């Protein structure tokens, strides 16, 4: 019994010692790095963020390993601290010399596939990044309608710690949309809903259109179009619960949208709150809109129209530093809206920066601004400018960032755009009173990045050839 108590006491002392003894710590007096060939010793030291004289603990060693692995330069790293010497032993990842994409003939398709890949020639090979890139390729191909595509990757060791990567891509057949159906509490007929969306049912004569193939991005946009339609018809609480594609043949799908419109809502009481020094008479047009909308079906477009009208009045009456917000309150089947106009602190626009416009000229973008450098900063005009840039339809994505300027009362507006293709090709064939007709057209909405709209059209029949050429400059002499 006595021996057992002694054992328990010894274990308790050991446990307490482990808790209260200081953690391992040692001062680095020398750093020795081995195994590196391509990556210099100084570069490794820089990424390690360890210097002579640092007092290292176990957690510091773990963070050092994490930082070095995050560079993707190394496939294996070991670290040891002994007698004030820090030993870092690395095994470098191979360098990717060449990357091939077999099975892709179209240059445009290849560009879309490799657009967002992480691994490139002359970058370090990494198994995890390779797996992610393979999944990105499969996902991109599905977005483009190639639902039956397969991707295999080969890694070829060419010596001197270098490798070639070969993507063997089998596109397979494109996934056609055989039928588009709508289920659930949809309120409207399929024909009406089908006319609202971009996706189309496959027909053999639609040989140019890509909308007849399954495309996840287009389907997601279709869901937004459907939701906006219902929101403008009074169905404030509508939900597009899901959309899914059902395989019916070897390469044909039925695209199904599940809709729950729920109950219909109507506009109730509409009010506007103004700052004390604002003239209510300036907003009489808003009150007239309120009267017209009361008890009418709810419409998100009507709400945006009111906000736009408030913005217009605020600008025209030179209410420079204001912002508008709306508060919704649901009572039974009515939606009460209160529009709040607030004055904000006065700032000036120090600078407007534009990034990402590799094709579109900067003056084309700046022409869309309703606010300029040196002007009082106005949130309404800033948002209007962003919407104007988006409305050009030259860009896949437009992002804005408002940051503090160098002065206390100044702001800097940063605009980042992502270019997208702006050209269209149209072709068709038919039969009319003049016999067979073949039509062909080309349209470019941002010619030479100058914002010019150029369009040509050619029609051939057995009796005549007709055509036209049209060019439009919406900002002639840099003015609207």
Going residue by residue through the chain, which has 480 residues, state the pLDDT in tens, using 9 for 90 and above.
444 444 454 445 444 444 444 445 788 889 999 988 888 889 888 988 888 988 888 888 888 889 888 888 888 899 888 888 889 999 888 989 999 999 988 888 898 888 889 999 988 898 889 999 999 999 888 888 888 899 999 999 998 888 999 999 999 888 888 889 999 999 999 999 999 998 888 766 555 455 677 788 888 889 999 999 999 999 999 999 766 677 777 778 888 899 999 999 999 999 998 888 788 888 888 889 999 999 999 999 998 888 888 877 776 665 666 777 889 999 999 999 999 888 777 888 999 999 988 888 888 899 888 888 888 888 778 888 888 888 888 888 899 998 988 888 889 999 999 888 877 776 666 665 666 777 777 888 888 888 888 888 787 777 778 878 778 777 655 544
What does the pLDDT read at residue 324? 75
What does the pLDDT read at residue 415? 92
Mention every residue, 6+ apart, whose C-beta is less than 8 A from residue 301: 232
What does the pLDDT read at residue 24? 58
**Tokens 């602190």, residue?**
345
Separation of first and last alpha carbons in the chain: 98
φ, ψ of residue 301 in degrees (nearest 5): -65, -35
Is 378 within 8 Å of 346 (Cβ atoms)?
no
pTM over 0.95: no
φ, ψ of residue 60 in degrees (nearest 5): -65, -40
Of the candidates 190, 182, 292, 302, the one whose C-alpha atom is nearest the C-alpha of residue 243 is: 182
And the tokens for 41?
Answer: 């010793």
**C-alpha to C-alpha distance for 115 and 111, rounded to whole angstroms:** 6
Is 428 within 8 Å of 412 (Cβ atoms)?
no
**C-alpha to C-alpha distance for 165 and 78, rounded to whole angstroms:** 28
Is 74 within 8 Å of 90 (Cβ atoms)?
yes
Angle between helical axes of 300-316 and 379-391 (0-180°, round to 10): 120
For residue 208, give the DSSP letter. S
Mention every residue, 6+ apart, whose C-beta is less than 8 A from residue 279: 317
What does the pLDDT read at residue 112? 87
Is 200 within 8 Å of 207 (Cβ atoms)?
no
Give the burial class of 20: count Cβ atoms within 10 A of its Cβ; 0-12 exposed, 13-18 middle, 19 or more buried.
Answer: exposed
Sheet containing 334-343, strands listed edge to edge, beginning at the edge strand earlier in sequence: 266-273, 334-343, 322-331
What does the pLDDT read at residue 221? 87
> With DSSP H G I counted as helix, E B as strand and the rest as coil, what are the percentages for the chain, rounded to 5?
30, 40, 35
**C-alpha to C-alpha distance for 219 and 145, rounded to whole angstroms:** 11
Q: In whole angstroms, what separates CA 305 from the centre of its chain? A: 27
SS3 assignment, position 108:
helix
What does the pLDDT read at residue 434? 60
Q: Pairing between strand 435-447 and 452-461? A: antiparallel
Of the candidates 129, 128, 146, the one whose C-alpha atom is nearest the C-alpha of residue 138 is: 146
What does the pLDDT read at residue 309? 84
Q: Which helix (H) or strand (E) holds 337?
A: strand 334-343
What does the pLDDT read at residue 192? 94
What does the pLDDT read at residue 209? 54
Of the candidates 412, 274, 284, 409, the one whose C-alpha atom is nearest the C-alpha of residue 343 is: 274
CB atoms under 10 Å from CB of 466, counted, come to 11
Angle between helical axes of 216-231 and 127-143 (0-180°, round to 10): 60
DSSP per position, 55-76: EEEHHHHHHHHHHHHHTT-EEE
**C-alpha to C-alpha distance for 94 and 74, rounded to whole angstroms:** 9
And the tokens for 155?
Answer: 């890694």
CB atoms under 10 Å from CB of 197, counted, come to 22
What does the pLDDT read at residue 72? 84
What does the pLDDT read at residue 4? 45
Is 368 within 8 Å of 389 (Cβ atoms)?
yes
And the tokens for 338?
Answer: 């209160």
């Amino acid at each position: 019994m006595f021996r057992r108590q002694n054992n328990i006491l010894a274990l308790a002392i050991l446990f307490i010692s482990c808790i209260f003894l200081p953690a391992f710590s040692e001062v680095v007096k020398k750093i020795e790095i081995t195994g590196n060939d391509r990556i210099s010793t100084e570069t490794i030291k820089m990424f390690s963020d360890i210097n002579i004289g640092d007092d290292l603990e176990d957690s510091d060693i773990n963070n050092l390993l994490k930082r070095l692995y995050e560079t993707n330069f190394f496939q294996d790293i070991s670290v040891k601290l002994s007698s004030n010497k820090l030993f870092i032993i690395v095994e470098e990842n191979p360098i990717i010399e060449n990357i091939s994409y077999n099975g892709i003939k179209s240059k445009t398709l290849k560009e879309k596939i490799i657009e967002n890949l992480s691994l490139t020639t002359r970058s370090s090979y990494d198994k995890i990044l390779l797996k992610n890139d393979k999944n990105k390729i499969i996902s991109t191909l599905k977005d483009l309608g190639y639902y039956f595509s397969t991707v295999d990757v080969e890694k070829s060791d060419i010596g001197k710690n270098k490798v070639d990567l070969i993507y063997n891509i089998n596109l397979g057949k494109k996934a056609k949309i055989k039928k588009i159906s709508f289920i659930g509490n949809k309120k409207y007929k399929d024909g009406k809903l089908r006319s609202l969306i971009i996706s189309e049912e496959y027909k053999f004569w639609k040989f140019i259109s890509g909308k007849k193939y399954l495309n996840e991005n287009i389907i997601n946009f279709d869901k937004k179009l459907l939701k906006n339609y219902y929101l403008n018809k009074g169905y404030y609480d509508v939900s597009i619960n899901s959309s899914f594609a059902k395989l019916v043949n070897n390469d044909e799908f039925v695209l199904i949208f599940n809709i729950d419109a729920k109950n219909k809502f109507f506009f109730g009481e509409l009010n506007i709150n103004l700052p004390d020094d604002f003239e209510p008479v300036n907003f009489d047009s808003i009150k007239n809109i309120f009267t017209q909308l009361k008890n009418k079906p709810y419409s998100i477009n009507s709400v945006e129209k009111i906000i736009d009208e408030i913005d217009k009045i605020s600008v025209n009456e030179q209410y420079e530093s204001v912002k508008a917000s709306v508060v919704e309150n649901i009572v039974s089947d009515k939606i009460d809206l209160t529009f709040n106009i607030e004055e904000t602190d006065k700032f000036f626009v120090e600078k407007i920066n534009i990034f990402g416009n590799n094709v579109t000229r900067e003056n084309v973008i700046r022409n869309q601004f309703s606010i300029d450098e040196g002007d009082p900063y106005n949130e309404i005009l800033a948002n209007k400018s962003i919407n104007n840039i988006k409305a050009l339809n030259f860009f896949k994505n437009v992002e804005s960032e408002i940051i503090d300027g160098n002065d206390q009362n100044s702001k800097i507006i940063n605009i980042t755009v992502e270019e997208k293709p702006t050209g269209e090709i149209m072709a068709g064939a038919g039969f009319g009173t003049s016999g067979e007709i073949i039509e062909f057209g080309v349209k470019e909405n941002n010619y030479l990045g100058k914002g010019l709209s150029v369009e040509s059209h050619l029609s051939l029949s057995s009796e005549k050839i007709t055509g036209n050429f049209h060019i439009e400059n919406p900002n002639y002499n840099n003015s609207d």
